[in-house]
Amino acid sequence: MAKQDRERAKTASLRRELLAWYRHNRRDLPWRRNADPYAIWVSEIMLQQTRVAVVVERYQAFMARFPTLLSLALASEQDVLALWSGLGYYRRARMLHKAAHFLASQHQCNLPGTAEELRTLPGIGVYTAAAIASIAHGEAVAVVDGNVERVLCRLAGWEAVGRTGGAALRRKIEGLAASLLDPEQPGDFNQALMELGALVCTPRNPQCLVCPWAADCATRGEHKTRPRPGMVSREVAHGLSVRMGQGSGREVLLEQRPASCTVMPGLWELPALLDAAVPEDKLRMTVRHAIMQVNYYVRIRAVFEDDAEALTVSGGERRWVPLNEAARMALTGLTRKVLHRAHLLPTAQLDAIAPEPVPDVV
């Protein structure tokens, strides 16, 4: 297959997998039950800088009081601000009210149909315009918020936007978002990608094992970001070997750090790999773990029992440990994090660790 055909097939499969995941996992949010452009506009403005849980509550009261664009335009600013109470950033409410006035007096209460026109309204930036145009009007325009940036950086294996080179990376992310966008279902695709970032590809603790894009993801876990001043980044790799034990469930191969170690002597950890560069098809996950001034990007490779001697560095004492016993051992923080994330420790609960997303500023 030619390179172009392979790229096309990969894009088609990424779209399919993401949309199928979204159909089964999307949260039932009030603004998703309504195709009215006005309702979508209100929700997008509220979601700027405000948590979804807070917006759900305030949105319903706001829409009950101002069910149409005209009702909002005719309201006094004091009424609008009162209904905005609890959401903060009141400038958003003033801009929304001002734009409603303008649309009611100049455009017969019709919201513009394209992202370009929407951007001319008060309070609507690039992100919000793209979200409204794609969701309410089906325009094929990609939305890039903080969630989308993070997911695409990880998918492509790009270092996160920093103080230098940020604009170039931002352009690459926008290009990738535009090429992945499903032109047949742009609104659903944009919402699906943001939902993936909010529920699965979270800033901390991404749930790669249940991610629809895991097979194509270059990072499979936390991606590299520019270290804060005074911090340095280091890449290391560890092997994860799991086997069936003698009647007591699964066992994991652990190694005890020698007593002579200056850092964490005597603690148990996953054996270090001989080669820190893990081939992409063998990569299980990437975990960021900070110890003092060092940000470790730890690549975890699944290692078969037979390969454990050949692929891992022999350090201290090594043992196959039943998983329920491992949970009670003195594990290093990194090893505990990996075993949790791989759902190998009994207390790992996917629902308990899916955090509430915080939408990005427009």
Least gap, CB of 151 to ligand SF4 (angstroms): 5
Least gap, CB of 246 to ligand SF4 (angstroms): 34
219 belongs to the binding site for ligand SF4 (CB under 6 A): yes
Nearest residue (CB) to ligand SF4, 10 versus 107:
10
287 belongs to the binding site for ligand SF4 (CB under 6 A): no
Q: Give the phi and the psi of residue 207 in degrees, each rounded to 5.
A: -95, 65
Q: How many CB atoms lie within 10 A of CB 102?
A: 14
Cβ 189 vs Cβ 15: under 8 Å: yes
155 belongs to the binding site for ligand SF4 (CB under 6 A): yes
Q: Is 251 a catalytic residue?
A: no
Least gap, CB of 210 to ligand SF4 (angstroms): 8
Cβ 287 vs Cβ 298: under 8 Å: yes
Among 144, 200, 321, 331, binds ligand SF4 (CB under 6 A): 200
Cα of first residue to Cα of last residue in the chain, in angstroms, is: 41
Nearest residue (CB) to ligand SF4, 40 versus 151:
151
300 belongs to the binding site for ligand SF4 (CB under 6 A): no
Measured CA to CA, the distance from residue 101 to residue 78 in angstroms comes to 15
User: Which one from 44, 222, 251, 255 is the annotated catalytic residue?
Assistant: 44
Among 104, 214, 254, 362, binds ligand SF4 (CB under 6 A): 214
Angle formed at CA 353 by CA 257 and CA 356, multiple of 5 degrees: 140
Cβ 323 vs Cβ 248: under 8 Å: no
Among 135, 151, 161, 176, binds ligand SF4 (CB under 6 A): 151
18 belongs to the binding site for ligand SF4 (CB under 6 A): no
Among 15, 220, 284, 299, binds ligand SF4 (CB under 6 A): 220
DSSP string for residues in 59-75: HHHHHHH--SHHHHHHS
The piece of 40-48, 89-97, 164-172, 208-216 that touches ligand SF4 (CB under 6 A) is 208-216
Measured CA to CA, the distance from residue 223 to residue 204 in angstroms comes to 10
Please count the residues of this chain forming the interface with ligand SF4, following the rule CB under 6 A: 15
Among 83, 133, 199, 211, binds ligand SF4 (CB under 6 A): 211
Buried b (16+ CB within 10 A) or exposed e, 49-88: ebebeebeebbeebbeebeebeebbebeeeebeebbeebe
The piece of 24-32, 199-207, 323-331, 349-357 that touches ligand SF4 (CB under 6 A) is 199-207
208 belongs to the binding site for ligand SF4 (CB under 6 A): yes
Measured CA to CA, the distance from residue 126 to residue 123 in angstroms comes to 10
Sheet of strand 294-302: strand arrangement: 232-240, 294-302, 283-291
The piece of 42-50, 110-118, 180-188, 209-217 that touches ligand SF4 (CB under 6 A) is 209-217
Q: How many CB atoms lie within 10 A of CB 292?
A: 6
278 belongs to the binding site for ligand SF4 (CB under 6 A): no
Enzyme catalytic residues: 44
The binding site for ligand SF4 (CB under 6 A) comprises 151, 154-155, 200-201, 206-208, 211, 213-214, 217, 219-221
